[in-house]
Amino acid sequence: MDRLQGKVAVITGGSGGIGLATARRFVAEGAQVVLVDLDEQRLVEAAAELGSTAVSTLAADVSDEAQARAYVAAALQRHGRLDVLFCNAGIEGAIAPITDYPVEMFDRVLAVNVRGVFLGLKHALPVMQRQGGGSIVITSSVAGYKGGAHLSAYAASKHAVVGLMRSAVLETGASGVRINTIHPAPIDTRMMRAIEQGRAPGAEAAAKQVITTRIPAGRYGSADEVAQVALFLASDDSRFCTGGCYPVDGGMSAA
């Protein structure tokens, strides 16, 4: 119950499915948590759901540099340090073949999913290096290992964050800062509802069944199952783990 005692964590996408489940785990393990997401009202609801004085919120768009700087500054102002950054905000974008994929949507997916992670690294790394340690966990996806038909921008973005993670590991060396990616299979959150709807409007249950056949475990994961791996990588239990890609996927990447 104290694996994050005394630690300060920022979670982006903090009012979404995986972010909120991770916040619940982090708070239960003693962390002070700053939830970052786009919408103030949803953040307030998420914090109320967690019902802990250890939780505060900040509305910010991770793709904007000033706002990324602001969430790092908020952790420092409120708690004096930053030990864990969970770069988890993400969007699925359009569900369309490359030949029909809207260019503006391609750019937006890369702005949120890639530039957002880059900016988190850019502003959190100096703080963590000064402190002599920290853990950055980035939410990639099985789409960070595999292609995704009709999800090209999303798959490209989730591959790209592996390159960012590996580059950051080489740049931070023996500073004590660790950086890893996690790679969930389909997880039961809003995002999969949107993907099912995009793949088969009006036949979402059938789309879910088809997607599930590609997961050896025979089901979607839960947000909490991802949160438990994020917790491991955030905590000192993983003190020798850096530069790694961690599947949370019921065997999906084995195929």
Which residue's CB is nearer to ligand NAD, number 57 or number 189? 189
Which residue's CB is nearer to ligand NAD, number 90 or number 134? 90
Which residue's CB is nearer to ligand NAD, number 56 or number 129? 56
Token couple for 251 = 């065997």
| Strand ranges of the sheet holding 245-248, from the earlier edge strand across to the other edge | 55-59, 32-37, 8-12, 84-87, 134-139, 177-184, 245-248
Residue 214 near residue 255 (C-beta atoms within 8 A): yes
Residue closest to ligand NAD, measured at CB: 16
* Residue 144 Cβ vs ligand NAD, minimum distance, rounded to whole Å: 8
Q: Which among 71, 101, 154, 220 is annotated as catalytic?
A: 154
Residue 194 near residue 136 (C-beta atoms within 8 A): no
* Residue 141 Cβ vs ligand NAD, minimum distance, rounded to whole Å: 4
Contact footprint for ligand NAD (CB under 6 A):
12-13, 15-19, 37-38, 61-63, 88-91, 112, 116, 139, 141, 184, 186-187, 189-192
* Residue 196 Cβ vs ligand NAD, minimum distance, rounded to whole Å: 10
- 154 in catalytic set: yes
* Residue 178: strand pairing partners: 135
Residue 25 near residue 223 (C-beta atoms within 8 A): no
Could you tell me which residues come within 8 angstroms of residue 197 by beta carbon, excluding any fewer than 6 positions away?
204, 207
Q: Which residues are catalytic?
A: 154
